Amino acid sequence: MSKFVIQGQTPLKGQIKVNGAKNSALKIIPASLLSEETVTINNLPAIEDIKLSLEIIKAVGGVVNRQDHQCSISTKNIQTTSIPPELANKFRASIMFVGPILARTGEVSFPHPGGCVIGAGVRPIDLFLEGFSALGATIHIANNYYHLTAKKLKGTEYFFTTVSVTGTEALMMTATLAEGRTTLKNCAMEPEIVALANYLNTQGAKISGAGTPTITIEGVDYIKGGNFTVIPDRIETGTFAILAAASQTELLITNCHPDHIAILLNIFHKIGVRFEQGENWLKMLPSPKIKAYNIKTHEYPGFPTDLQSPYTVLMTQAQGLSIIHETIYDRRLLFTDMLTQMGANIIMCDPHRVVVNGPTPLHSRKLTSPDLRAGIAMVIAALIAEGTTEIDNIYQIERGYEALAERLQAIGVNIHRID
């Protein structure tokens, strides 16, 4: 198993470039199945989940040409409508292929998707199934395997009883090829959804309202191929900003959209984290005194659950008490136990809330990364801790952050990747 070895408290400085957003690219790749024509994707992050997504494209008969951060996908001939279980089992975003294959061919089969264990039990897909059924699909389930058929999908009205990012994207994509109008209500509003809608509209879809709670899709017969540039990863942006704040470092973060992390930047103003920003850059300045501040995770534009764990590390270095309230996933605070082992003063009130009492010095430990976002939080904790910290199971971290060790080395982090 590969691990990171990090020597804490080395002085950091320089600049770091944000990569394309994992959670945008993971939707554009399946969306390419809506078109018979070639789709070219730029600024594609080189991470495991993207590799798996492209494997699914190939497995169903698509042709993929990938060079560095660009790839072209052609799915003119779809040879099978079955998503291979050995790929679907590995990541949650495999569910994003269901709608486009169904809309294009009239059928699809797949197992329950795998992925990070960040919620109690298996992460549900009930909203997807309800939505596909509302669009006219017939659903057969046997042995945790799903088979959906629909001669022709029909426009519908669907209300999300839980706000879901991938649920919104899945139904929005699928409805582009349905007959008539679909109205989706109580939708998620993440920038990745807006990027997907804008792209599909340039290729012939008729989607309005993306980025608001109500999205309307007028079905069309044909989606063209085209060119998509993946938007900067807002979670990487926020993670690097928190890393700089926690380590009191001057750091220039480039190729980012600071607007997409407005809530974090507003909190930075309140707690004394200094920064300057431009349209596509963020300059973090050393901030010797940081005040504690409570957060409650929320759908966009609220505080992203994917930044909760790095923010919790920051609060261990802030003056005073902060309550971290994780509302989206019920296992995403369990990692705080490892911060406690490193010397943080954290009390878990219940699975959704912890109280952090800072500031406390952190000490090195041997750690295991339980999931992607907790893993990067441990990396931040390790680089402000005294001594040498080992983090294993880094597969979980590298699923979301490309060439992390090299990029952090370039700003002065003493980090080594050991196979």
Minimum CB–partner distance for residue 295 and ligand EPU (Å):
14
Minimum CB–partner distance for residue 225 and ligand EPU (Å):
23
- For 349, the 3-state DSSP assignment is strand
Minimum CB–partner distance for residue 306 and ligand EPU (Å):
5
328 binds ligand EPU (CB under 6 A): yes
53 binds ligand EPU (CB under 6 A): no
Beta-carbon neighbour count of residue 236 at 10 Å? 27
User: For the chain, what's the residue count?
Assistant: 419
Per-residue contact track with ligand EPU, 99 to 138, x per CB under 6 A?
-----------------x--x---xxxxxx----------
Alpha-carbon gap, residue 364 to 389, rounded angstroms? 5
Catalytic residue among 116, 187, 256, 349: 116
Is 116 labeled as catalytic in the residue annotation?
yes
Provide the β-strand partners of residue 253: 16, 282
Which residues in 164-193 contact ligand EPU (CB under 6 A)? 164-167, 188
3, 21, 23, 45: which one binds ligand EPU (CB under 6 A)? 23
Which residues in 288-327 contact ligand EPU (CB under 6 A)? 304-306
Alpha-carbon gap, residue 316 to 357, rounded angstroms? 7
Nearer to ligand EPU, 121 or 288 (CB): 121
Per-residue contact track with ligand EPU, 335 to 374, x per CB under 6 A?
-------------------------------------xx-
H or E element that contains 348: strand 346-350
Could you give the angle at the alpha carbon of 303 between the alpha carbons of 413 and 374, nearest 5°? 40
Whether the Cβ atoms of residue 358 and residue 292 lie closer than 8 Å to each other: yes
Q: What is the CA radius of gyration of the chain?
A: 21
CA–CA distance from 94 to each of 53, 125, 172 (Å)?
7, 12, 16
Nearer to ligand EPU, 43 or 166 (CB): 166
Alpha-carbon gap, residue 38 to 32, rounded angstroms? 8
Minimum CB–partner distance for residue 95 and ligand EPU (Å):
8
User: What is the bridge-based pairing of β-strands 70-74 and 250-254?
Assistant: unpaired
The piece of 1-9, 66-74, 159-167, 386-394 that touches ligand EPU (CB under 6 A) is 159-167
DSSP state of 260: G
CA–CA distance from 349 to each of 336, 354, 355 (Å)?
12, 5, 7
Alpha-carbon gap, residue 295 to 167, rounded angstroms? 25
Nearer to ligand EPU, 112 or 407 (CB): 112
Provide the β-strand partners of residue 363: 386
Nearer to ligand EPU, 12 or 41 (CB): 41
Minimum CB–partner distance for residue 165 and ligand EPU (Å):
4
Nearer to ligand EPU, 238 or 258 (CB): 238
- For 162, the 3-state DSSP assignment is coil
Nearer to ligand EPU, 52 or 362 (CB): 52
Minimum CB–partner distance for residue 208 and ligand EPU (Å):
21
φ, ψ dihedrals at 123, nearest 5°: -70, 130
Nearer to ligand EPU, 189 or 205 (CB): 189
**Which residue in this structure is represented by tokens 């890393």?**
243
Nearer to ligand EPU, 192 or 381 (CB): 192
Total residues at interface with ligand EPU (CB under 6 A): 25
The piece of 33-41, 157-165, 259-267, 274-282 that touches ligand EPU (CB under 6 A) is 157-165
Task: Read off the tokens for 245.
Answer: 């704040």
Q: How many helices (H) and strands (E) does the chain have?
A: 14, 23
Provide the β-strand partners of residue 353: 325, 350
Alpha-carbon gap, residue 313 to 287, rounded angstroms? 15
Which residues in 81-100 contact ligand EPU (CB under 6 A)? 92-93
396 binds ligand EPU (CB under 6 A): no
Chain residues that interact with ligand EPU, rule: CB under 6 A:
23, 26, 92-93, 116, 119, 123-128, 162, 164-167, 188, 304-306, 328, 372-373, 400
User: Which residues are known to be catalytic?
Assistant: 116
